[in-house]
Amino acid sequence: MKYYTSLDLNEHLDKSELKPDTYYYELILNKKHELKSLNKIFNDKIEKTTESEFENVSNYVKTLSQADWTYLEQLEAIIKNGVETENRTDTDTISIFGTQNRYDLSKSFPLLTTKKTVLRNIITELIWFIQGDTNLKYLKDVNNPIWNQWRRPYNLNRGLAKVRIRKENEYVNCIYEKGDLIEVINKYAERLYNNELDVKLYKLWANLMAKAYLGTGDYSISKEWQDYDTFIREVKSLPHWYYKTEDWNNFVLSNSYYSSSVFSKDTSVWLRKDEEELYLENNMIIKVTHYNGEVELYFNKEELNKHLGLDLEELLQKEYEEELTPREKNIYDEFELSTIKEYEPSDGFVYRNKLIKDDDMGPIYGFNWRQFDYVDQLSNIIQEIKTNPNSRRLIISAWNPKEIDNMALPPCHTMFQFKVTNGKLDCQLYQRSADFPIGVPFNIASYALLVYLIAKECDLTPGEFIHTTGDTHIYVNQLEAVKQQLTRLPYPAPTLTIKDWNGVFNFTSDQVELNNYKSHKFLKMPVAK
């Protein structure tokens, strides 16, 4: 009988409860990352094992997750070849630049087994992207915490936004006669019970209605808001509602932000009292025209002076060019100051600081997938794959330079491209920044799942996922957990099936069936913001 010589496996088996195959792999574990080929492992590092025992072990290893082997080798390469660098966070990274790893989706699903990875969170985040959603409400509803750490604080100062003002004549003060109004107000009062929040909102609504009826409030209320149930539902969806509930006395329902005399869903927002007062005092807009005539800027006086870096009124009082500073002269050269004037927003638009809605992440991934400058990239790509599968233009970009400052987090996975070959759908992702221990396992599984979905939609089979990364890094405070993961032997790779198919845009989490997934325990690692 033929033997493979090295160490005496049987000598140790009597002292261990491990199965021969498992024990065997633990013996060679320390060398596995130095060897690129599993065959080389078998040829060079075999215990004193019979040919049949070796064949059993060999066949077993071929079932182990190839995604894990690839991933672990990349982790080790970062540690071995990386350079410690500072970054925008308070924690340094060990990083290399420019990597590429490939995952065969036709054989298995690349969900890592060397640490537990929660597929449910990956699925629901992908659904969130596919729907073009940017608000955390859906993720909260499905108990997905992935984006919680990037939740943005109350802030209005993130640049200027053009806001449309509804025409005032679309509204009436109050649709009820006096007797009817009293009856309606009393009817809703009976439903309040002991809910403190609803009592407060009821008092606000009743006060608005009474002032609108009497005409003492100098405003009108939309017909929709004169229905108490609609009012309650919609005011809770307005920007900064969360902050109102946390600091009730310092936030007010305001229509001054929109320079409106109407209270409605489209013209109201929750504002801090000090900002409410600012907008009440500064409802006039200033129109600034460049000499070239190509650009118009709209500011209130305070914002204009801030933009110019000087006091405009003082500048206009200077009569002679020799009185001007170089900065002031540049202003004169750039703008046609005679056209700067105050005006009422007669065109139905004003420029205001951009609102950040509660729990809104801004125009991140899904928004740009579905609304990149009003282009639905995802729908277009699906149609193109169906009608022109040989195209080399099957690209979706999440990187929109003009919107970067409005995003809670600039996209890390910036663009991806599809390719159809022999009935298989391949996908290559370019990721500018790759947190390899935490983010990348999610990214691999997420885009693999996306390939499954698009392939299903286009009557193709999943092919290969190619993951190309720019700055590829490990945070130094993750190293201990990473080293622990490097000691873990992969389990057999799982498979994934999509059932009850009803289209990409109707996809739900209960349609995913993960088969034969076994993993090591979860590894806790710090997340850098």
Residues assigned a catalytic role:
412
Closest by CA to 529, choosing from 408, 436, 427, 421, is 408
Q: Check if the beta carbon of residue 126 is closer than 8 Å to that of residue 369.
A: no
Q: What are the angstrom distances between the C-alpha of 528 and each of 121, 434, 438, 446, 524?
A: 19, 12, 10, 20, 13
The letter for the amino acid at 321 is E
The letter for the amino acid at 121 is N
Q: Check if the beta carbon of residue 263 is closer than 8 Å to that of residue 225.
A: yes
- Sign of the CA dihedral running 475, 479, 481, 484: positive
Phi-psi region of 483 (alpha: psi -120 to 50; beta: other; left: phi over 0): alpha
Q: Check if the beta carbon of residue 228 is closer than 8 Å to that of residue 202.
A: yes
Closest by CA to 412, choosing from 371, 365, 463, is 365
> What secondary structure does DSSP assign to 63-82, as a single string?
TB-HHHHHHHHHHHHHHHH-
- Taking the C-alpha atoms of residue 526 and residue 529, their distance in angstroms, rounded to an integer, is 10
Q: What are the angstrom distances between the C-alpha of 526 and each of 86, 374, 402, 501?
A: 17, 37, 31, 37
Where helices occur in 38-164 by DSSP H, the ranges are 38-44, 51-61, 66-81, 119-130, 137-141
Coil, strand, or helix at residue 266? coil
Q: What are the angstrom distances between the C-alpha of 432 and each of 77, 102, 415, 418, 509?
A: 18, 17, 9, 18, 28
Assigned token pair, 242: 């969360």
